[in-house]
Amino acid sequence: MIEAVRIFLIRILMILAQVSATQNAPAYGLFPADDFRVTTGACGDCATIPQALWFFKNETIAVPRVGHPIAGYDPQLRAIVDLQRWNALTPPGSARDYPALVWVGSPQVIERAWLDPRGEQLKTVREVSGFALVPRLAANRAYYNADSTAFFSRRELRLRGQKVTSQKANQEENSFVARSIWPSDFRLDPQAPLRPIAARPQAIREFVRSEPSGGAQSAFATQLLWQRDPAAAARRAGRPLIGILLNGAQGDDDEAHGGHFGLLTGRVGEQGQMHDWLIANYYALDSESEKGIIAAMLPLDSYLADLNSGQAWYRPSYMLVATLRAERTAVHLGSALARVFNQFYRHQFVYQHAAANCTGISVSTLRTIGWQVPVLGPVSWWKAIAGLPVFAVTTGSLTKGKAMFDYLTEDQTRLLPALAFEQASADLLQLVSGEATRALTPYEELLRQDVEEILLVRIPQLPSSRAWGSYPVAGIDEYHSRVPQDPAKQQLVPVGPRPFPANLKDPTSPRFKPLRSDYAVAGYATGLLVLGGFVLRLLWRRRSAGLKPVSKQRDE
């Protein structure tokens, strides 16, 4: 009997050890890191499409190993139609497609490290080495400084970068050149008490704006909003999840008050770790970012804490996290996002600040797979119609006039990151709590069944020489109230083009769909032609009428 109990306990301990190992094993979102190999975009034997590899020819990426299914695409369909067809044929849970690539940035990772107060040495459980940073990009106007060292030296760290060996005074010296620095205490708090809020967009906005400057200088915080039962927190470790991330406004760029938006998937770490969650960062491909950002699916620590491109160096961030009892809805979302990325890299559609920005692409993906995030509608068609010619004349730019038209006529949930975050977060709370009044789609019904907990997270801005950011604007008028009226006082960051190679363009790809402003300009042009023809006809009639009396006098 005693021997049987001993064997039983050993088996339980082995199972727990396997679960713990799974929870702590390196991963890219929902996928084990061992299912990928680390390479660069210059690899000649990757199954990833060449258009995607071109953007990362000088970057470290991870690509799925042979035998793992990669998200596909239909080259002859528009991205949204391709996604609709795939979604109709692929019930959630029936496919587990891997992203074609993950941008990891650096080939090596150091866990459990501590930086000395002078920022010169890095200590791990195994060794002490020198510490250095990747160079600041020339266009990046602010960077790591003494405030950064003071912040990081007080906590355990996780770093991405590369070990280097150099000769100094006839001795070898090892150093770690960091590319991203992640505070290990940035994790879901397992002791966060339940503090429900109303399932309304305004309540989400109040959380975002509750701290001064949107929490840029506040502490990292976790707030538990909803749980299926009191035991849900104890089951959190290892659970799959869906996340919605909102970046705030930058303090030194008047074009970035709207913030940024992304969707993510992954699993909760054993102690609530979140660094390896995978976020889909849709970003402009046809221009060179001053921060070195490239649109990609990438780990959350790289997205937020890369020394040049990390969003946490520029502004505070906010995240809604829904843990799940099953991974089917998260896998389905991740597969859809990866499929859209294939079409994006191929230039089947291009990034547009109104019609197809980070928010619009993400929200359209959610709606296409069945999560009907509420539609707020446009700001004003009348303002757009009246304002296009006026704005084009006053600015001397038809392009700016068209952009204004597209902003004012776009669904605000697809346009502004803050509004998308509020609407989607509140809608999910309504779905799981039974407050939703609409008929649920199959995907929404699965969400209602699977979500175990919903948490809100505030991520502060990392200290550096950069100005502190704030919460993002939630409307066009609020945006204009922040931007200096005098153009000379506006802080703008010019970026250069990134021409897409002609040989990578697919001739079978459908043409770009015209913008609403294209139709508006065509309408104005048609109206002007009609009006011009009417005026000319009227003038001709008057001229003809005026000539007849003179002719008669001469005849007499």
What single-letter DSSP state applies at residue 446?
Answer: H
Quick one: tokens of 38? 């680390």
Amino acid identity of 220?
F
CA separation (Å) from 500 to 41, 53, 365, 384, 408? 15, 12, 24, 32, 29
Label residue 243 exposed, middle or buried (CB < 10 Å: 0-12, 13-18, 19+).
buried
The 3-state secondary structure of 368-431 reads HHCCCCCCCCCCCHHHHHHHHHHHHHHHCCHHHHHHHHHHHHCCHHHHCHHHHHHHHHHHHHHH
Contact 105, 302 (CB under 8 A): yes
In the predicted structure, residue 173 carries a pLDDT above the cut 70: yes
Would you call 155 helix, strand, or coil by DSSP?
coil
pLDDT interval class at 547 (50, 70, 90)? low
Mean pLDDT of 490-495: 84
3-state helix, strand, coil in the chain (%, to 5): 40, 20, 40
What's the pLDDT score for residue 88?
97
Query: Residue 36 above 70 pLDDT?
Result: yes
Q: What is the DSSP letter of 317?
A: E
Residue reference for tokens 């953007």: 55
C-alpha distance from residue 334 to each of 88, 359, 452 (Å):
16, 16, 19
- pLDDT of 16 reads 41
pLDDT tens digits, one per residue of 37-47: 999 999 989 99
pLDDT at 409 over 70: yes
Distance of alpha carbon 387 from alpha carbon 384, whole angstroms = 5
Mean per-residue pLDDT for 423-444? Answer: 97
- Determine phi and psi for 466, rounding to 5 degrees: -80, 150
pLDDT of res. 169: 63
Q: What is the mean pLDDT of residues 494-509?
A: 90
Structure letter (DSSP) for residue 213: G
The one-letter amino acid at 424? A
218, with CB counted inside 10 A (0-12, 13-18, 19+), is middle
- pLDDT confidence bin for 118, thresholds 50/70/90: very high
Q: Where does the pLDDT of residue 180 fall: very low under 50, low under 70, confident under 90, or very high at 90 and above?
A: very high
The answer to whether the pTM exceeds 0.75 is: yes
Q: How confident is the model at residue 459 (pLDDT cuts 50, 70, 90)?
A: very high
pLDDT of residue 193: 92
Q: Cα-atom radius of gyration of the chain, to the nearest Å?
A: 27
Cβ count within 10 A of residue 390: 11
Contacts of residue 418, defined as CB under 8 A and 6 or more positions apart, other chains included, come to: 205, 208, 246, 258, 259, 471, 472, 473, 474
| CA 239 – CA 431 distance, rounded (Å) | 20
The confidence score (pLDDT) of residue 506 equals: 86
Average pLDDT over residues 401-409: 91
Which pLDDT value is given to residue 548?
A: 58
AA letter at 305: A
Give the Cα separation of 337 and 42 in Å (integer).
Answer: 24
The Cα 254–Cα 362 span in angstroms is 23
- The string of pLDDT tens digits covering residues 251-282 is 999 889 999 999 999 999 999 999 999 999 99
Average pLDDT over residues 120-148: 95
Residue 549 has pLDDT above 60, yes or no: no
Q: Regarding predicted confidence, which is higher, 537 or 194?
A: 194
Name 70's bridge partners. 98
| pLDDT score at 543 | 80
State both tokens at 450.
């699977």
pLDDT attached to residue 167:
67
Model confidence at 24, in pLDDT bands (50, 70, 90)?
low
Question: Does residue 486 register a pLDDT over 90?
Answer: no
d(CA 135, CA 367): 41
- Six-digit token string for 314: 């520029």
Confidence of residue 166 (pLDDT cuts 50, 70, 90): confident
Looking at residue 370, its pLDDT comes to: 98
Q: Kindly list the distances between the CA atom of residue 373 and the CA atoms of 9, 202, 335, 450, in Å, as whole numbers in the listed order.
A: 47, 16, 19, 18
Closest CA to 325 of 175, 423, 447: 447
Written as one letter, the residue type at 310 is G
The angle formed by the CA atoms of residues 308, 312 and 314, to the nearest 5 degrees, is 70
Least confident of 168-177, 185-194, 355-364: 168-177
Query: C-alpha distances in angstroms, 314 versus 12, 324, 464?
Result: 46, 31, 9
In this model, does residue 218 exceed pLDDT 90? yes
- Rounded Cα distance, 267 and 283, in Å: 24
* Strand, coil or helix: 275: coil
| Average pLDDT value for residue range 499-526 | 88
